[in-house]
Amino acid sequence: MEAKKVVHNVKGIYGGQTTTGILRLTDYHMVFCAPIDQHAGPADPATPPKMRERWLTYPILSYCSLRPTPPTSRQSPSIRIRCRDFTFVTFNFVDNDVAREAFDFIKSRTCKLGTVEKLYAFSHRPLKNEKEMNGWEFYDPKAEFRRQGISEKLPDKGWRVTTINKDYTFCDTYPAFLVVPSKISDNVLKYARDFRSRNRIPVLTYIHPINNCTITRSSQPLAGITRRTNVQDERLVAASFSAWMPGGSEESTPPASQQEPADSNMLEASLSDMERYEDELISRSAAIYDERTGETRIYGRQQANMIVDARPSINAMVNQVQGMGSENMDKYKFATKTFLSIGNIHVMRNSLNRVVEALKDADISPLPPNRDLLHQSNWLRHIHEILDGSAIITRRIGINHSHVLIHCSDGWDRTSQLSSLAQIMLDPYFRTIEGFIVLVEKDWLSFGHMFRLRSGHLNHEDWFAVQRDALAGSKVQPGENDGRNDALQNVLTGARRFFNPTKDESELDTASEVTSGKVVDEEATTPKMVSPVFHQFLDCAYQLIKQNPTRFEYNERFLRRLLYHLYSCQYGTFLYNSEKQRKDARVGERTSSVWDYFLCRKQEFTNPDYDPTVDDRIRGKERIILPNLKEIRWWYQVFGRTDDEMNGSLNAAAAAENGRLAAVSSLHGSPRLDQISRSASGTPKPPGLGNTHSVLTAVETGHETITSDDKHSALRRSASAEGPNAFAAIRDGLSGLNIGKSILSNLGRAEASGPATAPHAEQEMREMT
């Protein structure tokens, strides 16, 4: 690849180690070339030194700062770079002019491109072995739903394929291929779409092969402050929940045994008992076998269909004031509703920024990350919430043989996380490389996760800063904040917010977008819309692989490389927000698919310990897998650190607790399952969980709302009230609501909700989406 600019005598600093080499700047990469070992003593002059090249693709940059120095300074001017694959590197130059030219060149190849079509994917020429693959054709929705048992040529399972969105005019963020209940006509769909945000109606994404129970997904309803309803939407959801039953009634009301407990204490106790029972059920071959045919039937228990709202209930109420909201369960009496309290994109972006703050000196220092900052980031707490919510969905379908409808706000962030993770837990097919590719294509790409919007491929002016530091001649110490003299720096306000994410971010929603050049509005990066949603999904998948080392065909490196190529922009797969946009841009013709990269290197990403055997009668080989929420750990490989640096304290606490349990067991004999479960409640949990607190925070039926106290109940009832005083009721309720009390504390800490919890809740209020 031709270098547009070559800079000699550049000192690269990575992991506290300094090497001198050449920095080559091409149109799409920075390439730093340096001898492999500059500290090994004199080399043979006749033997040229072995060189190592470190490649950085421009779109992967998350922050780039130029630090010029005064002429009298003995320090070198530098460029510090942070990447979204958690690479941290500093380049020192011989003088300010050279450093400035390099900085301006890098900036011109990122936030000044103006259009996605100038990214590397449209110029990349794949290797021969990649050309032999056809990643764009790998996912065929007809084939996948045929695998699930839905096809015109197969017996009717209560579902049909509709062509209502073949030209994307019905919903431009949905795929052309949609599966809906057989008894619902396209005409009903047309009337139902106006009741869902962005016309994202409830549609099928997964049907369980054993019990025919389903996962459907949608966006939030447009209920508004007056609690509007839509008969066609009610019919669609009812048909989705009754499609598998011959002659199933759309008006059926669940029996009393399906109703959820009437207060939060009972709810938590019930969930705890249910989890112990169901985990034992799986491990003891809970599958019911037909003695006559020998075939597996279903896991036992009465049906209890559920509508899962991934948001905190307070978010749903604020959205209700804005004309959206959540379902009025008086109209959906065939189901219960659950709020999972998973944070929105702003909360997750802030959380990852705090992780970066803990790691940010990885270029100039070999010291371990700041564990206090890691703890304060709440990252593992968010991973816990997502996995816990996914496990709730998995149990409902795989064990309670019930149907689940999932939505958040628009149905393309938290909904995609929950839907895809539940399918990994339910279906061994999605634990294969082929199945995982199909899952990402189906539940992320085709269902319209906003990859371009969430990834910020074109970078942003705010992510580049010039630090005019009066103390530039002083040495930068590990842990030092480069922004300590902000008053003297010529740095944009947004860059300071990004560099110091621990400050109050109340302006995130109102931060102006600073751009230059002719940037197409639709493609320009909006910093407040960037969020690590797909990264969190991969992190959750990593937790499942780590806890089930023989149950996955793909390995940890597969997930890590996929995260890298999310940002590399070498392939066209993740450059757009929807199936329609990809087709309009003809990415299948003009770029290569990221799956070409993985499929031609399949051996590198295959787990050698993978065992594909599925037998519900053998412990460890069951069809369903569930996460152990006490064993959530930092994905240290992706952060470029060691296990001990990231997880040392968590592992030590867990080992001490296991030792205590072993001692108790040896003294009193083998404890029963219920004794172990009660004892385990004291086990150190990944950041932030109370002993009995579940991520499931509120369950609502058609006749009541379950809350943790009377004040919360009154607030939700007020939010659902009709009439002119409804808004006032919400306002008054919010003013007296202590949101922080119900939020989980940080992982690894035993104390109750502390000061760090309140900003999290306040941010949810300010940044509702």
Closest CA to 566 of 448, 445, 461, 446: 445
408 in catalytic set: yes
Cβ neighbours of residue 364 under 8 Å, at least 6 residues apart?
A: 13, 16, 90, 476, 478
Judge residue 241's burial from the number of C-beta atoms within 10 Å of its C-beta, 0-12 exposed, 13-18 middle, 19 or more buried: buried
Tell me, rounded to whole angstroms, the distance of Cα 189 from its chain centroid.
Answer: 30
Contact status, residue 220 vs residue 325, Cβ threshold 8 Å: yes
Nearest-Å Rg of the Cα atoms of the chain is 27
Q: Where are the alpha helices (DSSP H) in 500-613?
A: 533-547, 556-568, 579-585, 587-590, 594-599
Sign, Cα dihedral of 318, 323, 329, 330: positive
Q: Which two tokens stand for residue 475?
A: 């040495």
- The annotation status of 411 as a binding-site residue, yes or no, is yes
CA distance 270 to 281: 16
| DSSP structure class, residue 262 | S
- Name the amino acid, one letter, at 433: I
Q: Kindly report the backbone phi and psi dihedral angles of residue 412, in degrees, each rounded to the nearest multiple of 5, phi listed first.
A: -130, 0
Contact status, residue 465 vs residue 495, Cβ threshold 8 Å: yes
- The annotation status of 159 as a binding-site residue, yes or no, is no
- The annotation status of 748 as a binding-site residue, yes or no, is no
- The annotation status of 509 as a binding-site residue, yes or no, is no
CA distance 444 to 533: 11
Q: Which of 171, 408, 569, 600 is catalytic?
A: 408
Write out the H or E segment, with its range, that includes residue 561.
Answer: helix 556-568
- The annotation status of 344 as a binding-site residue, yes or no, is yes
- The annotation status of 732 as a binding-site residue, yes or no, is no
Residue with tokens 């109940």: 713
Contact status, residue 748 vs residue 687, Cβ threshold 8 Å: yes
Residue 505: beta bridge partners?
A: none
Q: Where are the beta strands (DSSP E) in 240-388?
A: 306-309, 336-339
- The annotation status of 456 as a binding-site residue, yes or no, is no
- The annotation status of 710 as a binding-site residue, yes or no, is no
- The annotation status of 410 as a binding-site residue, yes or no, is yes
Contact status, residue 630 vs residue 654, Cβ threshold 8 Å: yes
Q: How many residues does the chain have?
A: 769
Tell me, rounded to whole angstroms, the distance of Cα 209 from its chain centroid.
Answer: 26
Q: Taking phi first (over 0 means left), then psi (-120 to 50 degrees means alpha), and beta for anything else, what does residue 378 get?
A: left
Tell me the three state secondary structure of residue 588.
Answer: helix
Q: At what angle do helices 379-398 and 414-426 cross, to 10 degrees?
A: 50
Cβ neighbours of residue 142 under 8 Å, at least 6 residues apart?
A: 151, 161, 177
Tell me the three state secondary structure of residue 648.
Answer: helix
Q: Which two tokens stand for residue 738?
A: 């202590």
Binding-site entries for substrate: 344-345, 408-414
Residue ranges of the binding site: 344-345, 408-414
Q: Looking at the annotation, which residues are catalytic? A: 408
